[in-house]
Structure 1
C-alpha cells in the first residue's frame, strides 16, 4: 500500500513539474515574441495591430513611440491612452513621461512656427504629464529635465492685478514663475 502511494505521488510530482516547465516555456516564448516586435518597432518598422492588441503594455508603449517618431501624433496619443494605468508605478511613470514628450514635441513645432496659441495648451499638457510622471517616480531625471525645458519654452504667466485707474494708462505686467539661470559672473 505504501509502495503504491509513493508511486502515485512520484507520478503526480512528475506531472506537476512537467506542467510547470511547459508553462514557463510558453511564457518565455511569448516574452521573446514581444521583444522581437519591440525591436521591430524601434528599428522603424510597423507591426500589425492584431499582434499588439494581445501583447503586454510595454509593446503598446513601443508602438506609441514608433508613432511619435513617424509624427503620427493622434495615433500615438490613442495608443498611450490605452496603457496609462497599466503595469506598476514605474511603468505608469514611463507612460506619462512619453506622453509629456509627445506633447512637448508638438509644442516645440508650434512654437517654431510662431503659433503660440497652439503651443501654449500643448506645453501645459506636457508640464502636467511630466508632473504626473514625477509624482509616480520622483527619481526620473529625464522627466525633471524635460519639465524644465517645457517651463522655459513657454513659462507659466500670472497676471498682476492693477487698480482700474492705472490699468487704463499702463499695460499689465507679466512675470514668469520660473526664474532663469544667471549668465556669467556678477
Structure 2
C-alpha cells in the first residue's frame, strides 16, 4: 500500500507541475500575442499607448511611431527606458532611429534656411549615433550617419573665457557652427 501511495503522490505532483508549466507557457504566449498585436497596430500607424514596463520590442515600436511623426519629446523617455532594459541590439537600433529622425528634421529646417533650430537637432543626433556605436561598434550605418552629422555641425573646442567677455577681434575669428550642407559622397 505504501508503494501505491508513493506512486499516486508522484503522479499527482507531476500532474500539478505539468499544469503549472502549461499555465505559465499559455500566459507567456498570450502576452506575446498581445504585444505583437500592439506592434502591428503601431506599424500600421495607429497611436497605441504603451505601458511603462512593456517589453523593449514594444517600446521600440512605439518609439518608431513617435519619431516618424517628429514627436521627439515623447520619444526620449521611451529611449531612456529601452536603454535601461539592457537589450543592447534594440537599444542601439533605437538610438539610431531616433537620431535619424532628428537628423531628418534638422535637414528639413536647413532646406528652408532655418539654421537656429537645426543645430541642436544635429547635435542630439550626433550624440545618439555615438551611443548607438558605443553599444554596437560595428554598426556601419550609424558610423556613416555620424560622419554626415559631423560635417553638418562641427565640434569645435570651446574657448575658456573665465567669466570675461570676448574682445571684438576674437569674436570675428570664431567659426560658424553650421558650415554648410555636404553634397554627394566625400
- Deviation for aligned residue 1:150: 1.2
Q: Could you tell me the TM-score, scaled by structure 2's length?
A: 0.77
For the pair 1:148 / 2:122, whether they are aligned, the reply is no
In structure 1, list runs of 5 or more residues that go unmatched: 161-166
Report the alpha carbon displacement of residue 31 of structure 1 after superposing the two structures with TM: 0.7
**Pair 1:34 & 2:43 matched:** no
* Equivalent-residue separation in structure 1 for 2:134 and 2:80 (angstroms): 18
Q: Per the alignment, in what secondary structure is the counterpart of residue 85 of structure 1?
A: helix
Residues 126 and 116 from structure 1, CA distance in 2 versus in 1: closer, same or farther, beyond 3 angstroms?
A: same
Q: What residue in structure 1 maps to residue 87 of structure 2?
A: 88
- What CA deviation, in whole Å up to 9, does each residue of 1:129-149 have, x standing for no partner? 111111111122221222122
Residue equivalent to 1:58? 57
Q: 8 Å contact 2:96–2:129 — kept in the other structure?
A: yes
Shift of 1:8: 0.6
**Shift in Å, 1:13:** 1.0
TM-score (norm 1): 0.77
Q: Which residue of the partner structure matches residue 134 of structure 1?
A: 133
Deviation for aligned residue 1:54: 5.1
Kindly provide the CA deviation profile for residues 65-87 of structure 1, in whole angstroms up to 9, marking residues without a partner as x. 11221233322234333333113
**Runs of 4+ off more than 4 Å:** 173-176, 180-184
Superposed counterparts of 1:116-135, under 5 Å: 116-135=115-134
Counterpart residue number, 2:165: none
Tell which deviates more after alignment, 51-60 or 25-34.
Answer: 51-60
Cα distance change of structure 1 residues 45 and 181 upon mapping to structure 2, 3 Å threshold: closer
Change (3 A) 1:61 1:13: same
CA drift of 1:158 comes to 5.1
Q: Distance in 1 between matches of 2:36 and 2:154?
A: 40
Give the superposition deviation at 1:102.
3.2
The structure-2 alpha-carbon separation of the partners of 1:181 and 1:106, relative to structure 1 and needing over 3 Å to count, comes to closer
Structure of greater relative contact order (alpha carbons < 8 Å, 6+ residues apart): 2
SS at match of 2:84: coil
CA RMSD of aligned residues (A): 3.3
Aligned length: 174
Q: CA deviation at 1:175?
A: 10
Query: Structure 1 pair 34/110, CA: closer, same or farther in 2 (3 Å)?
Result: same
